[in-house]
Amino acid sequence: MLAEFSGHYAVGDRSGRLVDTEGAHSVREGSLSANVSVRVGADVVKVGQVSDSIARFGDRYVRRIYTEHEIASCSGSASHASAGLAARFAAKEATLKVLRPAGHQPDWRSIEVRRHPEGWCSISLSGHAAELAAQAGVGELAVSLTHEEDIAAAVVVALCRDGVVGTNQQMTQPCELASNGVHTDG
């Protein structure tokens, strides 16, 4: 196992303990470095629930939850589109679990699953979601999406700098965080 955060590398030995390759920083057992924590969010969505929402509310539902990019990424048959949108909804929910909003929840479209031409996905944050990420010290997000039959799921992992104090400054530009998420059929 090899991890990098802000130019600092850590290597895991067979016991799972991470060892600092530079020797200049102490590394806690089970962490990437003394100043980095990991947050994980996961969610499962029934594809049929998304299909039902599309049938009942149509474009009003789709445009309230998903960005233009997400909608375009889920084209094709109705069943394929519903499965892809369900996986993206699961990713949005998993991202919220990582961001841990207290009070006001970010707009659904401020959490965007970006599908890259090579097939993998990343999370792009804007508005209140980007503010929450900055407050939490989120430096990197990884996402994995999947769906099979009537179940869609997503896992989001965030690397956070410990002790980061957020600002009240509004982030108006989307913040696409580095991601090495694996896209599987979503």
What are the tens digits of pLDDT across the range 136-170? Answer: 999 899 999 999 999 999 999 999 987 664 433 33
Full domain range(s) for residue 2: 1-32
Same domain, 50 and 2: no
Q: What is the pTM of this model?
A: 0.73
Domain assignment present for residue 152? The answer is: yes
Is residue 38 within 8 Å of residue 141, measured between CB atoms?
Answer: no
Please determine, for residue 84, whether its predicted confidence score (pLDDT) is greater than 50. Answer: yes
Is residue 44 within 8 Å of residue 144, measured between CB atoms?
Answer: no
Please determine, for residue 180, whether its predicted confidence score (pLDDT) is greater than 90. Answer: no
Same domain, 70 and 131: yes
Tell which wins on pLDDT, 36 or 179: 36
**Total number of residues shown for the chain:** 186
Domain assignment present for residue 143? The answer is: yes
Q: What is the CATH number of the domain that holds 124?
A: 3.90.470.20
Please determine, for residue 181, whether its predicted confidence score (pLDDT) is greater than 70. Answer: no
Same domain, 46 and 111: yes
CA distances for 78 relative to 13, 66, 172, angstroms: 47, 16, 34
Same domain, 78 and 97: yes
Domain assignment present for residue 185? The answer is: no
Helix H or strand E encompassing 98: helix 78-99
- Please tell me the total count of domains within the chain: 2
| Sequence-ordered list of residues with C-beta below 8 angstroms from that of 82, at least 6 positions apart, any chain | 47, 48, 50, 51, 54
Mark out the alpha helices in 102-170 (DSSP H runs). Answer: 127-136
CA neighbours closer than 13 Å in the CB half-sphere of residue 106:
25
Same domain, 17 and 40: no
Same domain, 5 and 52: no
According to DSSP, residue 24 is labeled S
- What pLDDT is recorded for position 163? 65
Measured in whole angstroms, the distance separating CA 44 from the mean position of its chain's CA atoms is 14
Domain assignment present for residue 77? The answer is: yes
